[in-house]
Structures are given as structure tokens and as C-alpha cells.
């Protein structure tokens, strides 16, 4: 199922429910754009703060942070 826009490219190494930097599984991952590659990745809040200058928070897509909870 394809659910991204065409210009919305994900980094090859990105995993949807893990942080791109530290690999930690988290419910509160941010979807951010990696400036160096201009690809989208997921970051946990800690890595987001550490790398704020390297990544840009992207608001063009709805966050799906609650998807994992499964209530």
C-alpha cells in the first residue's frame, strides 16, 4: 500500500517504528527531514534535540504516533 506523496522519500535505513539514530523503539517518534540527504526519517525526542541542526521537523504529514498503541 502506497501512502506517501511522490516527493516524500524515506531514507533507506529508516524503520517506521524505530529511531533512525539510536534504533530505540518509541511511541513518540518524530517524522523529520534529514538535511544532508533530504530524506525523511524517524527520530526519538532525545535524538531530535541532539540533532536539531541536522534535521527539520516536517509538518506536511499527519503523525501516526498513536498507531502503535493499539488500545
Binding residues vs Zn ion (CB under 5 A): 19, 21-22, 44, 47
Cβ at position 24, least distance to Zn ion in Å? 5
Question: 3-state DSSP call for residue 49?
Answer: helix
Least distance CB 21 / Zn ion (angstroms)? 4
22 vs 57, beta carbon nearer Zn ion? 22
CA 46/CA 57 separation, integer angstroms: 14
Question: Minimum Å distance from CB 39 to Zn ion?
Answer: 16
The count of residues in the chain is 71
Toward Zn ion, which CB reaches closer, 19 or 31?
19
| DSSP-derived 3-state class of residue 30 | strand
Q: Which is nearer to Zn ion, 2 or 49 (CB)?
A: 49
Q: Does residue 38 contact residue 44 with C-beta atoms inside 8 Å?
A: no
Amino acid at each position: 500500500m502506497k501512502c506517501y506523496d511522490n516527493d516524500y522519500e524515506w531514507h533507506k535505513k529508516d524503520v517506521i517504528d524505530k529511531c533512525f539514530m539510536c534504533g530505540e523503539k518509541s511511541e513518540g517518534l518524530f517524522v523529520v527531514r534529514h538535511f544532508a540527504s533530504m530524506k525523511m526519517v524517524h527520530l526519538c525526542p532525545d535524538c531530535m534535540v541532539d540533532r536539531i541542526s541536522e534535521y527539520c521537523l516536517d509538518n506536511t504529514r499527519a503523525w501516526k504516533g498513536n498507531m502503535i498503541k493499539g488500545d
